[in-house]
Amino acid sequence: MKRMLLTISYDGTAYHGWQVQPNGITVQQTLQDALEKLLGERPAVTGCSRTDAGVHARKFACHIDCKDNFPESAFLKGLNSLLPNDIAVIDCREVEPDFHARYNALGKKYVYSMYTGALNPFDSRYMLHLESLPDIDLMNKFCKGIVGTHDFAGFSCSKRTVEDTVRTITECSVKKDGNKIYFEIKGNGFLYNMVRILAGTALAVGQKRLKPDCYNDVFKDNDRSKAGDTLPAFALILEEVYY
Amino acid sequence: MKRMLLTISYDGTAYHGWQVQPNGITVQQTLQDALEKLLGERPAVTGCSRTDAGVHARKFACHIDCKDNFPESAFLKGLNSLLPNDIAVIDCREVEPDFHARYNALGKKYVYSMYTGALNPFDSRYMLHLESLPDIDLMNKFCKGIVGTHDFAGFSCSKRTVEDTVRTITECSVKKDGNKIYFEIKGNGFLYNMVRILAGTALAVGQKRLKPDCYNDVFKDNDRSKAGDTLPAFALILEEVYY
């Protein structure tokens, strides 16, 4: 047996997130189906995290254990030929037998994308359309304030299942490129809906519906009602996982 | 009554082409549904052309007749709020009562997109993935040869319904931008599947499966079998209609 780390890229529009669940097709089970066809047995696939329904990933990571000793290029080509067009395996490599895609992950980068100007269905698939340009400087003031180690309970959905809600954000900023706006965030971990709520709060700040230092009120009492909306999933991309 | 020219943009993945038909949802009927909700009556919508199932459009044109005297911006905003995310109306303006979206069209531009390198589900939605880079110079030799006025019957699907198969191509070329390849073509009109067959023939030339002057054999006897494959619809975009 050898342990393999797979890097996969997917358009999450058609999926109920990463993790297998009873009420819809997930990326994990679609990947398992393809692996079963390729390997003749259904391996366990362990992902670096869950992703919400509709969220995309540029470089999601997961590990599997398998017997075969196929060359990497044949494995990639075979697996991709069995996957639908909206999922691609872009890398695979052997790792130590005790490597774990979730526990070994040091951090992740997410990007929430928005755009202004004329509606465009090609952009609307992956970006939130805004009627007008928010104030990027105000948004960045908010972003600066949440960098660091904090209890993010107030910036997460109450349906979360974890007990420890303290996370460290190492980088957070908003970048503007023409009519496109990117909320980028890196951290050691993220709670349920946390990136979508942080992006929604940054947007509310940029639209002057909340103050740039509103994070103080949210942190103080873990008060979800003081943060912004949970923005829709379709404009969120998991960019990268760091090991 | 006034006649309005609408410019619409759509991701055609979910649609059975533009034109209303019994076996699937089309862009035309989806637009009519939204117009009916907005205007209180169902207007006829006349498109600049049909598009095949799965083909996209950056700037498709169609005309409608309607009574209302709403300001253009309110009409656009109202209509877009009633349309799904994969269709957007990007412009509307009043035209002469005898203007016709199809008969007045002077020409159209299509782009067929391909890419090489690592598979990427975001590109794979709109671009054909190629295992290796075709010879761009050879492709452009073929493109030069089809510019002009020719009988394109051999470059169209036999299911076509028109009798006159002579068309004029004014520009045709292949451009490379990093790992992306664009087959671009402008002409006064296109037969059923014609762009997809021309792109498929250009690709076969670039992959040295056909000679750059193979168009001579196709033109000579209108021989479809001497041309390349009909490439899949998902990588074809109607870029613009000229009036």
Known catalytic residues of B are: 52
Residue B159 clears pLDDT 90, i.e. is over it: no
pLDDT above 70: residue A91? yes
Mean of per-residue pLDDT scores for chain A: 93
What pLDDT shows up at residue A73? 80
Average pLDDT over residues B151-161: 86
pLDDT at B8 over 70: yes
- Asked if A75 is an interface residue toward chain B (Cβ–Cβ < 8 A), one would say no
Q: Is the pLDDT of residue B160 over 70?
A: no
**pLDDT tens track for B49-83:** 988 899 999 999 999 998 866 777 888 999 999 99
A128 to chain B: closest CA residue: B85
A73 at interface of B, judged by CB pairs closer than 8 A = no
Q: Do B125 and A85 touch (CB under 8 A)?
A: yes
Domains A2-95 and A107-242 alike in fold: yes
Is A103 in CB contact (< 8 Å) with chain B? Answer: no
Interval A98-119 mean pLDDT: 96
Q: Kindly report the nearest CA distance between residue A165 and chain B, in angstroms.
A: 33
Q: Does A119 touch chain B (CB under 8 A)?
A: yes
The average pLDDT across A221-236 equals 94
Closest CA in chain B for residue A118:
B90
User: CB B9 to CB A86 under 8 A?
Assistant: no
Residues B11, A122: C-beta atoms closer than 8 Å: yes
Among candidates B11, B118, B121 on the partner chain, residue whose Cβ is nearest the Cβ of A121:
B11
The C-alpha of B240 sits at a distance from chain A's nearest C-alpha, in angstroms, of 14
Q: Collapsing DSSP states into helix, strand and coil, what is residue A91?
A: strand
Provide the pLDDT confidence category of residue B98 given band limits of 50, 70 and 90. Answer: very high
Q: Do A120 and B9 touch (CB under 8 A)?
A: yes
Q: Enter the tokens of residue A142.
A: 């908010």
Q: Is the pLDDT of residue A99 over 90?
A: yes
As given in the structure block, the two tokens for residue B71 are 């300001």
- pLDDT, tens digit, for every residue of A157-180? 877 677 899 999 999 999 999 999
0.80 exceeded by the pTM? yes
Q: Which CATH architecture has domain B2-95?
A: 2-Layer Sandwich (3.30)
Q: What is the CATH number of domain B107-242?
A: 3.30.70.660
Instruction: State the pLDDT at residue B79.
Output: 94
Q: How many whole angstroms separate alpha carbon B236 and alpha carbon A234?
A: 24
Question: Measured between CB atoms, does B9 come within 8 Å of chain A?
Answer: yes
| Cβ-based contacts under 8 A for chains A and B | 57
Domain boundaries, chain B: 2-95, 107-242
Residue B95 clears pLDDT 70, i.e. is over it: yes
CB contact at 8 A, B65 and B2 = yes
Average pLDDT over residues B190-206: 96
Per the CB < 8 A criterion, the answer to whether A165 and A131 are in contact is: no
pLDDT, residue B1, reads 84
The larger pLDDT score, comparing residue B8 to residue A1, is at B8
Note whether A87 contacts B: Cβ–Cβ < 8 A: yes
Question: Which residues from A are below 8 Å from B56, CB to CB?
Answer: 122
β-bridge partners, A95: A3
> Rounded mean pLDDT of A142-147?
98
Question: For A15-72, how does the pLDDT look when each residue is reduced to its tens digit (9 = 90+)?
Answer: 999 988 888 899 999 999 999 999 888 999 999 998 889 999 999 999 999 886 677 7
- pLDDT single digits (tens) B200-231: 999 999 999 999 999 999 999 899 999 999 99
> b or e along A174-202 (b: 16 or more beta carbons within 10 Å of the residue's beta carbon)?
beeeeeebbbbbbbebbbbbbbbbbbbbb
